[in-house]
């Protein structure tokens, strides 16, 4: 998008390779995950899932980034955002698990997202994003849909912007499956309120020729000039 002259906040990705390396660097954590993948079944009780959730999240939160990952993180922050004083920039720290958003199955949004994160807290938030991969909601979803319980997780580090309005654009009508329609949902403020369901979005539907077909405006002036 940046190459096409869209304004996109700078950022980078802590890859799934870093997540997998973190597991290899913490054998006790890897053993817990091994037990998880072999013991939990679709028929497992609620208490069994909650037990693994508690054990895994607590185990993750007792770990910290390895020295080489910490150095790589520092280098990328300095290279992209400069060597500013701590607290000058704030960031969004977002989880992105492999397989969480597909054509047939989707658990997108169930892992953790942290907004307005100071630079000094990014390391901790990365570990918390990884730990959120084992929430009971996610484990149950994966069990019921025959998905791997230990899907690797990437983490997106991106500079926060003070958004007036935020939205999501669907290039295919997500309700009717109509490829001739583009659906845009918008809320005032940060987009987290939209994707988490805290706010009902205003909506505009346009055709492939970008002519407005339909719009719903609930309470704001977002679409005043549309």
The arithmetic mean of pLDDT across residues 50-57, rounded, is: 92
Please give the domain boundaries of the chain with CATH numbers for all domains: 2-159 (3.30.1490.20), 165-216 (3.30.470.20)
Dmax over CA atoms of the chain, in Å, equals 58
> In sequence order, which residues have a C-beta less than 8 Å from that of residue 54 and are 6 or more positions away?
none
% of the chain exceeding 70 in pLDDT: 89
Helix H segments across 82-150? 122-131, 136-144
Indicate if the pLDDT at residue 80 is higher than 70.
Answer: yes
Indicate if the pLDDT at residue 69 is higher than 90.
Answer: yes
Indicate if the pLDDT at residue 210 is higher than 70.
Answer: yes
> In sequence order, which residues have a C-beta less than 8 Å from that of residue 6 and are 6 or more positions away?
none
What confidence score (pLDDT) does residue 94 get?
92
Bridge-based pairing of strands 181-188 and 113-118 is: unpaired
Q: Model confidence over 103-130: pLDDT tens digits?
A: 555 655 678 899 999 999 999 999 999 9
């Amino acid at each position: 998008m940046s190459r096409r002259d869209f304004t996109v906040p700078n950022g980078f990705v802590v890859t799934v390779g870093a997540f997998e390396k973190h597991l290899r660097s913490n054998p006790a954590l890897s053993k817990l995950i091994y037990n998880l993948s072999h013991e939990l079944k679709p028929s497992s009780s609620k208490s069994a899932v909650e037990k693994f959730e508690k054990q895994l999240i607590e185990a993750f939160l007792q770990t910290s980034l390895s020295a080489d990952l910490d150095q790589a993180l520092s280098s990328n922050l300095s290279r992209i955002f400069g060597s500013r004083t701590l607290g000058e920039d704030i960031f969004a720290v977002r989880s992105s698990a492999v397989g969480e958003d597909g054509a047939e199955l989707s658990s997108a949004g169930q892992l953790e997202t942290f907004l307005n994160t100071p630079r000094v807290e990014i390391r901790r938030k990365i570990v918390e994003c990884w730990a959120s991969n084992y929430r009971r909601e996610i484990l149950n979803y994966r069990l019921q849909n025959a998905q791997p319980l230990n899907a690797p997780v990437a983490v997106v580090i991106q500079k926060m912007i003070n958004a007036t309005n935020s939205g999501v654009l669907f290039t295919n009508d997500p309700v009717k499956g109509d490829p001739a329609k583009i659906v845009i949902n918008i809320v005032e403020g940060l987009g987290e309120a939209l994707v988490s369901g805290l706010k009902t979005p205003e909506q505009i539907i346009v055709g492939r020729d970008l002519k407005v077909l339909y719009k719903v405006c609930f309470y704001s002036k977002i679409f005043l000039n549309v």
